[in-house]
Amino acid sequence: MSDEKSKFLLSENDLPKQWYNIRADMPVADTPVLNPQTKEPITAEFLNVLFPMSLIEQEMSKERYIDIPEEVREIYKLWRPTPLKRARRLEKALGTPAHIYYKDEGASISGSHKGNTAVAQAFYNKIDGTKSLTTETGAGQWGSALAVACNFFDMDLEVFMVKSSYHHKPYRRIIIESFNAAIYPSPSDQSEYGKQYLKEHPDSPGSLGIAISEAVETAVKSNGKKKYSLGSVLNHVLLHQSVIGQECLKQMEMADEYPDVVIGCVGGGSNFGGVAFPFLHQNLTEGHTTRLVAVEPTATPTLTKGLYAFDYGDTAKMAPILKMFTLGHDFIPAPIHAGGLRYHGMAPQICMLYEAGYIEAVAVPQPATFAAAMQFAQAEGIIPAPESAHAIRAAIDEALDAKEKGEARVILFNLSGHGLLDLAAYDSYLRGEVGDSTFEITKDEIRKNLPKVDVM
Ligand SMILES: *Cc1c(COP(=O)(O)O)cnc(C)c1O
């Protein structure tokens, strides 16, 4: 029967030709980005030490739509458009009248949404003359996506991988090496900051903040030979991820439905921004009232328990200062399995919209998140990334709430990646070894280490 469709597939011709830029429609005032040394608003010149001019222009652009270069679209076509699926078996298992849809970004060449920006960033660096990139990676998703992209554009890459993941998640390290990138466990002896940190904390498991510092230092000290690349948080990254939500808009139309709620997990905010901003555009311009829900772990409750303040993007205070919800740049998160959600801050665009009430946030605990992942896997046959499982937890909770209220709610969540390289985490869960981790911090404790800035 035609109304029993479970997959909504677009053709390559439907691949978006432009990225959608939320800055054109931002309903709240922009917050400034500050130079970490002077605490003055950042200049393009300072940013150019780290990023190519073409990406800096995108970072600052207020154009509503930005053309996707043909070279980037050609590579996107290796996996895009990704399928939108209706989780009919999960709906049945839950006995809910809700309709649950998910966008399968795990169907990408590196297994997550991160390729959407990796390919774009590698391309723009290439045309601006960059020969070599540096970056950090947590669980290895970003490092592997950028390694593939750099390999396509024939560029060198150095990856600083959070040490606990480097040792516990060898498979993504091997992927990164397969695409000819160099990879170091961070803190490492490859940077001055890493050496100094190791001296003071020889047993440090590392953190994204430390790894960012090492990658930034390596680019800054290269005399222009190397640029730095970030897989989340910044405006241009969220811009590139807008292909997700734009495709969803078309696919929901094919399904002849419109979501009441759009859900995504948040680490730095890029997959959530990618799926949610095109729907926010509809809310702002077409009078839709879709709820947009960002989901984080209780172990790194950036939006739900952080302080909205100016803070450094990295531990060594070398990266730009951003106004964001933060747990403090020296925050070392508990080693939860969702490595991609352990960043201390959040994309400024997500933060300003959350502060102003345009998006919602919830924090979910680790054991309940794994239980949701298992329920989804057993119904739909896909083992989700532990990060994506946070979105699944919230989607199931929405579906159960709809059941209680007898509502045929339409739920869309982003499955940001598959979990086939995260089986060790599932092994721990199945053995009953996954504990709860709830991080409590007072706003005063966070405030103690913040940069002193005058701009508010
Ligand atoms: C990196 C990652 C995330 C978190 O990053 P965002 O920028 O918040 O999207 C979520 N899911 C997966 C699968 C990831 O690899």
Question: Which of the four pLDDT bands, split at 50, 70 and 90, describes residue 169?
Answer: confident
Nearest-Å Rg of the Cα atoms of the chain is: 20
pLDDT (0 to 100) of residue 1: 45
Q: Which CATH class is domain 3-13+70-111+234-449?
A: alpha beta
Long-range contacts of 53-61 (CB under 8 A, 24+ apart): 53/128, 54/124, 54/127, 54/128, 55/121, 55/124, 55/125, 55/236, 58/124, 58/235, 58/236, 58/239, 59/234, 59/235, 59/236, 60/235, 61/21, 61/23
Residue 388 identity (one-letter amino acid):
S
Q: Tell me how far the alpha carbon of residue 145 lies from the centroid of ligand 1, in angstroms.
A: 12
Cβ of residue 265 lying under 6 Å from some atom of ligand 1: yes
Question: Which of the four pLDDT bands, split at 50, 70 and 90, describes residue 437?
Answer: confident
Per-residue pLDDT at 342 exceeds 90? no
Structure tokens at 72: 């980037």
148 vs 338: which has the higher pLDDT: 148
Span 44-61, pLDDT tens digits: 999 999 999 999 999 999
Ligand 1, atom nearest to 267 Cα: 8
pLDDT (0 to 100) of residue 3: 63
pLDDT (0 to 100) of residue 455: 65
Ligand 1, atom nearest to 273 Cα: 9
Cα separation, 450 vs 127, in Å, equals: 37
Do residues 43 and 32 lie in contact, with contact meaning Cβ atoms separated by under 8 Å?
no
Per-residue pLDDT at 75 exceeds 50? yes
Do residues 316 and 193 lie in contact, with contact meaning Cβ atoms separated by under 8 Å?
yes
Cα separation, 194 vs 213, in Å, equals: 8
Q: Tell me how far the alpha carbon of residue 417 lies from the centroid of ligand 1, in angstroms.
A: 8
Q: What percent of the chain has pLDDT over 90?
A: 86
Q: What is the pTM of this model?
A: 0.96
* Mean pLDDT on 297-314: 94
Per-residue pLDDT at 456 exceeds 90? no
Q: Tell me how far the alpha carbon of residue 241 lies from the centroid of ligand 1, in angstroms.
A: 11
pLDDT (0 to 100) of residue 321: 95
Structure tokens at 369: 């998140």
Give the other-Cβ count within 10 Å of 436's Cβ.
12
Residues 6+ apart with CB under 8 A from 432: none
pLDDT (0 to 100) of residue 260: 98
Question: Which of the four pLDDT bands, split at 50, 70 and 90, describes residue 419?
Answer: very high
pLDDT (0 to 100) of residue 233: 95
Q: Any idea where the domains of the chain sit in the sequence?
A: 3-13+70-111+234-449
Per-residue pLDDT at 90 exceeds 70? yes
pLDDT (0 to 100) of residue 453: 82
Instruction: Report the residue among 240, 271, 324 best suited for mutation to probe ligand 1: largest number of ligand atoms under 8 A from its CB.
Output: 271
Cα separation, 249 vs 137, in Å, equals: 30
User: Rounded mean pLDDT of the chain?
Assistant: 95
